[in-house]
Structure 1
């Protein structure tokens, strides 16, 4: 059995959590009552994930999107109150890592997404606090074939805007809501930029920058880091672990 605080200290160190000025607290967000033997991971600490974790007799839930975001009402009322009651009644801990899990060079969302998409020569850049990555395709693709490749690998349709012709070889990416880094991506001389979401201005930026931009889904691009971390922790601490997919088209 593992003390959840020992696991948190390990995660804080491995993920270099103190380096990030984040939008929500990283680490142990809700302390449960039991030693840790069974761990469920998921993308977001929703009611559906909590119920699924309880059904699996989990002692803790590990997520990328936890609770207590900046500028959010901190009171445990409404939906948040119901989630908290369910979690606390079951004695389950909630563990969340946001930007540290995006940035980690092996276990992070960007690293695992790049591997999922078969990118090569991958590396984080010095831009956006290491959240903007760059790499290459093993073989050049057209914008249409690149879109199809990403859609197939992530099992959901990617939305393409911007450049429709030419060859895609050098790619930059930032998972989740990283579309705001599009101009920084263009400064790297890439052919395409991939993130999770599409803002109104992103279409115009992609066209004017001459980039192929893919919005591949916030949830879809951030499924893999938490799985990798959960698997790593299970091996390191001898835990039972399962990733639970709660579908989200966003």
Structure 2
């Protein structure tokens, strides 16, 4: 079995975590056993995910949203205790990758979401997202784009503000909670903008600027990258991988 340090070091290097100033620590957050046979991945380090990882006999949990965030209380709160206790009791390690996993050009949330939507000519957009084009045969209608987004995130229909042009040829994508990146899309003259979790101001910005605005769910738009990390570890090190999708409507 591979060592825990091998797996975590591999992910740290792959995602170039030292290049990011993040809201919390990237990499290993909770140590565990020396060796790993089973890896569970999931979006957020919450109680149900951790409980399921224990049930599956995991030695390592890899998540996008970890346990520690800038500004959190400097003590073990009841909420943090609920999450830490099963990890420590069952000797399960936990690693988290936030912004590095959003931004990765091949294995990141935004790159994989762009790929799932069938977008062409992907290029960096806003701080951690990607912009793509839909040239064939003459772009997409907003209904066609909505259908692609719905399929990409597993059947969940996005919130849609259909305020842009009749044909969508360009789309900016920033997963998670990134409503304000719509300003970058407007500056670039894009036809549509997609994020996960919407803010109220997004409606007025979209309608006043004449751009389509879609919000497909914070959780739903960020399942892509962490699942890919588990697949990569399975291929590289021969570990067993299970992706656990704890349903989250937000």
| Cα drift, residue 153 of structure 1 | 2.7
C-alpha offsets along residues 178-234 of structure 1, whole Å, 9 cap, x if unaligned? Answer: 111110121122100000011111111111221101001101100011111110111
Task: Name the counterpart of 1:136.
Answer: 133
Task: Name the counterpart of 1:152.
Answer: 151
| Cα drift, residue 144 of structure 1 | 2.6
Task: Name the counterpart of 1:91.
Answer: 91
The aligned length equals 247
Q: Structure 1 residues 99 and 39, CA, compared in 2 at 3 Å: closer, same or farther?
A: same
| Cα drift, residue 80 of structure 1 | 1.2
| Cα drift, residue 123 of structure 1 | 1.9
TM-score in terms of structure 1 length? 0.95
1:138-217 mapped onto 2 (5 Å cutoff):
139=136, 140-154=139-153, 155-163=155-163, 166-217=166-217
Q: Distance in 2 between matches of 1:82 and 1:93?
A: 15
C-alpha offsets along residues 10-57 of structure 1, whole Å, 9 cap, x if unaligned? Answer: 211111110100001000000013411110000011110011111110
Q: Structure 1 residues 165 and 188, CA, compared in 2 at 3 Å: closer, same or farther?
A: closer
| Cα drift, residue 161 of structure 1 | 1.5
Task: Name the counterpart of 1:111.
Answer: 111
Q: Distance in 2 between matches of 1:197 and 1:135?
A: 20
Q: Secondary structure at the match of 2:61?
A: strand
* Contact 2:4/2:33, CA 8 A, preserved across alignment: no
Q: Secondary structure at the match of 2:219?
A: helix
Structure 2, unpaired ranges of 5+: none
Q: Distance in 2 between matches of 1:202 and 1:188?
A: 17
Q: Secondary structure at the match of 2:134?
A: strand
Q: Distance in 1 between matches of 2:2 and 2:214?
A: 41
Q: Distance in 2 between matches of 1:222 and 1:132?
A: 12
C-alpha offsets along residues 143-179 of structure 1, whole Å, 9 cap, x if unaligned? Answer: 2332232123321010011516511111111011111
Q: Structure 1 residues 58 and 168, CA, compared in 2 at 3 Å: closer, same or farther?
A: same
Structure 1, unpaired ranges of 5+: none
Moved runs in structure 1, 4+ residues, more than 2 A?
none
